């Protein structure tokens, strides 16, 4: 059920991207979500002068409506299945992890016991920090000593489950914009000079490690 919901969501995102790409291809600004709303579609379609391109946009809208209806139909079934798992209530206690994210999380991870420690979960979710270093040891007066040079951070690991990362990334983005303890922590990191993208990553990693390590 979770895989079906994920597939429909991906198809829906593709159609939405194609609609905006069509408008941008004809130099029509389309920022925001108004371009998808049914009540404004006639207004947007009138901006396309070419009849063939306008018809293609209409077909995209029809596909968009069909996928949205299909996802609305599947959503209650997914939530019903997720309530059968005790982990659903625990996951929903994490800020910005709602019923849908919790259901997708359970479907993807199945059980936390498949990971030896929380660090393996971070790596599986694409939140593992990768470092590159050379010359870790050097000779000083004939003695081999470890270099005091700090390791260089090269970003997050690339070999991961992209769907799991999307769940955490969406939750972290929501936490940075909403109200709650993670938002306060996020603002405190920004005040210390941390970059926004790293500040969004930090509280989510700490939250995940605390709640799933048991």
Q: Identify the pLDDT of residue 212.
A: 37
Neighbours of 136 (CB within 10 A): 9
Structural domain boundaries of the chain? 2-82, 99-212
Please give the span between the terminal C-alpha atoms of the chain, in angstroms, as a whole number.
Answer: 26
Q: Identify the pLDDT of residue 41.
A: 95
Q: Could you give the count of Cα atoms lying within 13 Å of 138 in the half-sphere of its Cβ?
A: 7
Give Cα separations from 147 to 141, 151, 155 (angstroms). 14, 10, 22
Q: Identify the pLDDT of residue 16.
A: 97
Q: Identify the pLDDT of residue 152.
A: 66
Q: Identify the pLDDT of residue 103.
A: 93
Q: Which residues of the chain have pLDDT under 50?
A: 207-214
Cα–Cα distance for residue pair 72/75, rounded to 1 Å:
5
């Amino acid at each position: 059920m979770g895989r079906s919901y994920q597939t429909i969501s991906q198809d829906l995102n593709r159609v939405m991207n194609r609609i905006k790409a069509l408008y941008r291809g004809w130099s029509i600004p389309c920022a925001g979500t108004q371009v998808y709303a049914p009540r404004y579609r006639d207004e947007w379609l009138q901006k396309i002068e070419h009849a063939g391109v306008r018809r293609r946009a209409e077909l995209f809208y029809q596909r968009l409506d069909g996928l949205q209806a299909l996802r609305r139909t599947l959503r209650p079934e997914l939530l019903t299945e997720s309530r059968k798992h005790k982990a659903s209530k625990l996951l929903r206690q994490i800020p910005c992890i709602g019923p849908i994210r919790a259901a997708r999380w359970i479907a993807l991870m199945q059980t936390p016991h498949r990971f030896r420690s929380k660090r393996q979960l971070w790596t599986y979710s694409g939140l593992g920090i990768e470092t590159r270093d050379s010359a870790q040891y050097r000779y000083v007066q004939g003695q081999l000593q470890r270099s005091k040079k700090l390791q260089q951070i090269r970003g997050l690991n690339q070999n991961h489950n992209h769907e799991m990362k999307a769940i955490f990334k969406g939750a972290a983005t929501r936490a940075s914009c909403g109200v709650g303890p993670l938002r306060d922590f996020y603002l405190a990191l920004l005040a210390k000079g941390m970059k926004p993208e790293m500040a969004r990553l930090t509280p989510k990693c700490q939250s995940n490690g605390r709640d799933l390590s048991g």
